[in-house]
Amino acid sequence: MSKTKVGIINVSGYAGIELARLLYQHPQVELTSVTGRSATGQKLGTVFPHLAGIDLTIEAKLGEVDLAFSAMPHQESAKEIIPLLDRGIKVVDISADFRLKDAAEYLSWYGFTHPAPQLLEQAVYGLTELYRSQVASAQLVANPGCYPTGAILALAPVVKAGLIEPDIVIDSKSGVSGAGRTLSQQTHYSEVNEDATAYALDGHRHLPEIIQELKRLHPGQSPSVTFVPHLIPMTRGILTTCYAPLVSGKVADSGKKKLKQLYLDFYQDEPFVKVVELPPHTKHTWGNNLCLIHPTVDQRTGRLIVISCIDNLVKGAAGQAIQNMNLMLGLPETTGLQALAIYP
């Protein structure tokens, strides 16, 4: 049986090379074409020695494939994708270009006029756990941002159940690979090592994405969300701590136990979301597609605390993209994604 051919547009960033790594061990698809913004004409294994097992040359233009991943930066990604869609090719877009439903947000948050607003409705937001059936029949999936993945999965059960007041604080701590492979003073080893800092205090581009999805989970409610991302000295991983007041009387009596059961029920059949007993460690997701979630109640204040952990390059990017691809191709959702986290 021949494998489905897939390709990666812009393999040379961290999301792109992580896609290549994961696709290499996928039993049902074959990575047949990769493009790059740089390094065109070079062997993939020359530029990225850990991918030497993959015998491909970085091309300027994507070859014939059945499904393409785009790991281009926003704005450029849409340009690459639109022609592919016209040719009937399925696409998973790692960029932000089709995540937001409201075209106006692209102007205010990303500074460009969206080139194809009509596609925003058609595109499926690829947080698989929330939109599984739509993903399965989609031609275009907008893969969620890394922060939104951890934050929305952490909050979805209580938001949907109407258990929290819409005053939400999301405090995220991310490894440096989330800032990409591009060089900057902010990713220089000597600057980042032994350092912690907050950034984007005036509003991170992932905020409208989080708000959009929280609203869809609880239509009619407009949550007031403060989201502060932090950079901490590790390569992979995002730990997100969410805070919100519990709606009076709904959880307080039975407390943590009831809350935990709500989460267990909500995620009971999910292969990649685990509700855990103890505060989770990002390290327990290193290199794999899991999202670990720990909900609890601050009994003194009646506040919900939920913590989630993901590997930003896997569940937060390439892994979730493949999870979506599996559904789009009619394959079992976990195919090629079963490797355990590497620890320690």
Site for a copy of itself in 296-325 (CB under 8 A): 296, 298-303, 305, 307, 309
Size, binding site for a copy of itself by CB under 8 A: 84
Interacting residues with a copy of itself between 35 and 74 (CB under 8 A):
48-53
Site string for a copy of itself, 277-296 (x = CB under 8 A): -xxxxxxxxxxx---x---x
Pick 163 or 169: Cβ nearer a copy of itself = 169
Each as own residue / partner, the long-range contacts of residues 263-266 (CB below 8 Å, 24 or more positions apart, any chain) are 263/157, 263/293, 263/295, 266/156, 266/157, 266/160
Q: Name which position in 39, 82, 161, 232 contacts a copy of itself (CB under 8 A).
A: 232
Is the bond leading into 148 cis (omega within 30 degrees of zero)?
no
Q: Name which position in 122, 197, 221, 254 contacts a copy of itself (CB under 8 A).
A: 197
Pick 132 or 230: Cβ nearer a copy of itself = 230
Pick 116 or 163: Cβ nearer a copy of itself = 163
**Tokens 């032994």 found at:** 194
Q: Name which position in 64, 102, 167, 265 contacts a copy of itself (CB under 8 A).
A: 167
Which structure tokens are listed for 255? 């407390």
Rg over alpha carbons for the chain, rounded to the nearest Å, is 20
Examine the residue annotation and report whether 146 is marked as an active-site residue of this protein.
Answer: yes
The gap from C-alpha 305 to its chain's centroid, in whole angstroms, comes to 21
Interacting residues with a copy of itself between 94 and 153 (CB under 8 A):
none
Terminal Cα distance for the chain, rounded: 38
**Tokens 């355990």 found at:** 340
Pick 15 or 328: Cβ nearer a copy of itself = 15
Pick 162 or 271: Cβ nearer a copy of itself = 271
- What's the chain's length in residues? 344
Quickly list H helices, 9-65.
Answer: 14-24, 44-47
Site string for a copy of itself, 7-36 (x = CB under 8 A): -------x--x---x--xx-----------
User: Does 272 engage in binding with a copy of itself (CB under 8 A)?
Assistant: no
Full DSSP string of 324-339: HHHHHTT--TTTT--P
Give dist(CA 309, CA 291) in Å, integer.
Answer: 6
User: Does 239 engage in binding with a copy of itself (CB under 8 A)?
Assistant: yes
The residues, ordered by sequence, that sit 6+ positions from 22 with a Cβ below 8 Å of its Cβ are 314, 318, 319, 322, 336, 337
> Which residues are known catalytic residues?
146
